[in-house]
Structure 1
């Protein structure tokens, strides 16, 4: 038998299989994926193995160091830091992922539509973007979230406000990238074939700028969590008795040297979450970029 059988054709992979293979060959991307899954599982099921609820107060353990009863120690008001960290991680994950997803979708659609339609549409969208960039978004978010603090829809309102004021710069970049994409042959061919404009934008233009969108989405998670942390530090955003990683960091920073467990637990969880998300984002970017050699040959 011949060492190479010409009758056996090499297997052809579709785009999804190619991206998956390149992603899985990137070690840091796999570490990020596994780590992020573990962080999500910890957020979802960490309270099942804990002994305390995040709202419970142990009147006999104020600022107690980590022990068998309180694994991460207790806070200044006697609440279990482990339970608060689990709840805070869950809240921060919801806020960060939701805000990043909404911002990315809005920026992709608005930016690509501005470049594709041009003329009046382009000028109008750029005018709206410039107007929103000069609005003091921090003050507006602080005032509105303070008004809705403690209500049932306060978290949803917080997500909406962070999303509403965070898509403009990304939309400008997507507009610039789209200007080079709409001149490609297959986009022109789709226009001549009378393919609906939004179909061209969604199926042909946005996938060509997806590498940037993925990077921006990962950075958006980081930015959303950091925005929530800053707002919580000033007494806005998520407020007691609710908790998030931002509120825990704000409460524990003043005791970081004297009672380090009050700060280290949420800070460690936050750092790991953001590192894993960045690893995943870098891996997806390299997997989607044919010119990148990080994932090896497909």
Structure 2
């Protein structure tokens, strides 16, 4: 007969434990992916630009783990480099969008009144716009430019929903004793946000960063797949999927390995973010 512990009997004890397992699994997967992304040229034996015209569309083997592409490129080297670029874009987008969401949401909630109403109306209008269409229309403006422009373009459509959540949290926190005391002592709104609101919303911001990384990686892959994202000779996972899609049936390794890397990357980030959420939230889902 197996005796149940208190954590197993009480539902609230199971969620943190499950969150810890999910976060640990996601962190380990993400660490392995980061190692592969950073050490890609070493692991593959060549960089993503090297072409071997005597080894065109070779299947996976000892010399080329993931096979070679249409120009003799090592698919493993390209996949590792593409994964590094996609993760870099995803992290940059997550940090920018979360910082913007924290700034807009906290100011709107703290100010209240007409400023809050106008800000939320603007957010609602931006939420209606289809991001991929807008970025596709604007893409000729930054064609051939730095990939940082792509980061800014994706981040511009990732902050609205988090801003609404942060604004709701700010409406609760502004009625707390420490915010009222800071206001009575003449603290500026910027100081109240930086010293009191943001630290108390840190779990929410951490969760938003981790989950936004996965969303941004998918967005970048979609834009690059349709030719609006990372441009050759640089590659991302979306670029590799676009190149390999025409050979997905005849030479499947050109498409399968980048697609698998994308799935595992998004899954690892999702597990980490969901695990952190379960670990930081209480049994009832309240922070």
> Taking structure 1 as reference, are residues 244 and 264 closer, same or farther at Cα in structure 2, changes over 3 Å only?
same
- List runs of 5+ in structure 2 lacking aligned partners: 1-15
Answering whether residue 75 of structure 2 is matched by residue 81 of structure 1, we say yes
Structure-1 separation of matches of 2:54 and 2:141: 35
Q: 1:213 Cα shift?
A: 2.9
Distance in 2 between residues matched to 1:214 and 1:25, nearest whole Å: 14
| Cα separation, partners in 2 of 1:275 and 1:137, compared to 1, 3 Å | closer
Tell me how far apart the structure 1 counterparts of residues 19 and 164 of structure 2 sit (CA, whole Å): 33
Higher mean alpha-carbon deviation, 99-108 vs 211-220, is at 211-220
CA RMSD of aligned residues (A): 2.4
1:220 aligns with 2:212: yes
Do structure 1's residue 40 and structure 2's residue 28 form an aligned pair?
no
- Corresponding residue to 2:165 among 170, 173, 191: 173
SS at match of 1:235: coil
8 Å Cα contact 1:232-1:238 kept in structure 2: yes
Q: Distance in 1 between matches of 2:183 and 2:277?
A: 29
The 5-angstrom pairing of residues 62-141 of structure 1 reads 62-141=56-135
Distance 2:185 2:224 in 1: 52
Q: Is the 8 A contact 1:218 1:277 kept in 2?
A: yes
Question: SS in structure 1 opposite 2:39?
Answer: helix
Is the 8 Å Cα contact of residues 286 and 292 (structure 1) preserved in structure 2? Answer: no
Of stretches 135-144 and 161-170 in structure 1, the one that deviates more from structure 2 is 135-144
Deviates most, 59-68 or 156-165: 59-68
The equivalent residue for 1:15 is none
User: How do 1:242-281 and structure 2 match up within 5 A?
Assistant: 242-281=234-273
Checking the alignment, whether the CA contact within 8 Å between 1:107 and 1:167 is kept in structure 2 is: yes
- CA deviations on 1:110-154 (whole Å, 9 max, x unpaired) are 111101011232133224323433445433322333333333x2x
Structure 1 residue ranges without an equivalent (≥5):
1-21, 294-298
Task: Give me the whole-angstrom Cα distance separating, in 2, the residues matched to 1:238 and 1:107.
Answer: 25
Offset at residue 36 of structure 1 (A): 1.4
Q: Partner of 1:26: helix, strand, or coil?
A: helix
Alignment of 1:190-205 (within 5 A): 190-205=182-197
Cα contact 2:126–2:160 (8 A) shared by 1 = yes
1:231 and 2:208 matched: no
Indicate the residue corresponding to 1:146 in structure 2: 140
Normalised TM-score (structure 1) = 0.82
**Contact kept? 1:74, 1:81, Cα under 8 Å:** yes
